[in-house]
Structure 1
Amino acid sequence: MDTTSALDETTPEISDAYLQSLFSAMERDGYCCIPDFLAPSSLMTMQEFVASSVRDSRNEYVAFKGSEAVKGSGLDQLAKSTRFQSIFSRLYVASRNKPAPAVEFYQLLRCLTGKGMMQHSLNFHYDSYLVTALLPIVIPTVGLAGDLLLLPNTRPVRETYAGNLVDKIMVDKIRQRSLRTRAAKDPSSFTRIKMVPGNLYLFWGYRSIHANEPCDPGTVRATALYHYFDPHAHSRLKAQLRH
């Protein structure tokens, strides 16, 4: 049995009926949760990787991009799991009513801690990718826990990259201060997701304004992110702006 097949054995198999209930929750509540998605042994391996990485960064914020950057943590193998990939492709079909493109992830691991923690918190934004999966690895058990704040499903998938860009600029540059003020003065107006290590949380990252709250500087909040399907991947305007 190869490594990917072995990992599939410990990854929950999501039935079509369960998948439909997850999709309905994302449409209704803005997100869904699959409890105990990770096997305890897999979670422990990922937590050991995080602990080592935070030590190497001298207890300051550190982030990793792509599967190669987290090789050996188990997060790289999870990205190759056919059962895991199937969740994303079926959510795509349910939301777009057409065949799903091949599952290729934009993958991150963020370890929030230390003095620089605040600059990586309360940065409200729309994702560039349709589906966002958030996998908590380490979450503080005392003080501020770095909860995810969500204004779910506040826009459709834009027909053009230009339309998407206007939305993102509005949030990043114009509404950022008012969103932070709202989070401080009226936190109950956001959907708050209190995360549990090993659970899997899914939401429409492209359509939802979101940000993480800070955690206490002496604690660690480590989350893996798997983003799927950029609606504007082939936009000429996007390519021009990036060059």
Structure 2
Amino acid sequence: MTSPINFIANDQNLDQLARRLDSEGIVCVEGAVPPESLQRWRDQLDRLIEKQGFRYFSIIQPWKERGSAYEELAADANFRALLTGLTSRGCRGHEAEGDIYNVLRVIAGPNGKQKSFMFHYDASVVTVLIPLQIPEGKPEDAGDLIAWPNRRPVRGSSVINAIEKSLIQNPLSRWWWSRRVVRRPDDRNIYRLKPGNMYLFWGYRTLHANLGCKSNSLRATLLFHHGDPHQGSLVTRAIRWTRRVREARNVTKMPA
């Protein structure tokens, strides 16, 4: 069966990709998503927007829902080899730790600026970002990715990780980082997203957020996370449980 992405996850390609992630931080694999795959995932997105409304919503693990078009990617052996292969190179011994954690994030409607500048570190070793729909315009109108890659190592303690995240993921710290972005001298930490491409980074080590979107535009991204350095820790489970509960308030039942 043909993989839904144009990337062969063999040892040579994974070694090269891991080296690029270490040196470049954010890696764009151009043309990784074939037009037919992108169209299927956009069709699924359109059905969800019809159900949820043209507004902000975020769905956790949409690939597990019955009839989801995103299952073909999450279940693809080649894509899973990409995730596990990078995890093993980014955090030795954790290639099999944890299931795929998938999020569909949609920013739409009149409040496109509301969900911007939410700086955070991911809980997982590797993050794969696939843009489905991206607005046009300047960075502050297109929801561009803003990131400081590889700012920290993988911590040996889940408690230290939780403390570090709490120092960043709070209103005061996020305000400080947002001011830094607004007053930036250049766009070196801003990454323009383009549907059809696939973007990868060490999510656990990279401080990142998105800029705002212009009113009544549509920004939709499909995110895949893999590799939990603190597998089984109460802290990690509590973080994900809290996010699941918070996002569940914004959605109705996903349609079949």
TM-score range, shorter chain: 0.7 to 0.9
- 1:153 matched to 2:150: yes
Residue 215 of structure 1 pairs with residue 213 of structure 2: yes
Q: Which blocks of at least 5 consecutive residues in structure 2 are unaligned?
A: 243-256
Q: Give the SS at the match of 1:43.
A: helix
Q: Is residue 29 from structure 1 mapped to residue 24 from structure 2 by the alignment? A: yes
The answer to whether 1:204 aligns with 2:199 is no
TM-score normalised by length of structure 2? 0.84
Q: How many residues align?
A: 238
C-alpha change, 1:71 and 1:122, in structure 2 (3 Å) is farther
Written as runs of structure 1 = structure 2, the 5 A alignment for 1:96-115 is: 96-98=91-93, 100-101=95-96, 104-115=99-110
Tell me, in whole angstroms, the C-alpha distance in 2 between the residues paired with 1:238 and 1:67: 20
Check conservation: 1:139, 1:196, Cα contact below 8 A: yes
Task: Please state how far the C-alpha of 1:69 moved relative to its aligned partner.
Answer: 5.9
Aligned-pair RMSD on alpha carbons? 2.4
Provide the TM-score with structure 1 as the length reference: 0.88
Contact 1:63 1:111 in 2 (8 A): yes
Q: Secondary structure of the residue that 2:169 maps to in structure 1?
A: helix
Q: Could you report, residue by residue, the CA deviation over 1:192-213 in whole angstroms, capped at 9, with x for unpaired residues?
A: 1111112111101111110011
Q: Are the structure 2 counterparts of residues 72 and 195 from structure 1 closer, same or farther at C-alpha, using a change threshold of 3 Å?
A: farther
Q: Aligned match of 1:234 in 210, 232, 235?
A: 232
Q: How big is each residue's C-alpha offset from its partner over 1:101-146, in whole Å with a ceiling of 9 and x where there is no partner? A: 1662110001111133323211000111111110001111345211
CA distance in 2 between counterparts of 1:218 and 1:26 reads 34
Structure 1 pair 13–207 and aligned structure 2 pair: CA distance change class (3 A): same
- State the Cα distance separating 1:57 from its structure 2 match: 2.8
Question: Distance in 1 between the 2:149 and 2:4 partners?
Answer: 33
Deviations 1:164-203 (A, max 9, x none): 0111011012421110100111163752111111211110
Cα offset, 1:51, TM superposition = 2.2
Identity of aligned pairs, percent?
A: 29
Q: 1:159 to 1:123 in 2, by over 3 A?
A: same
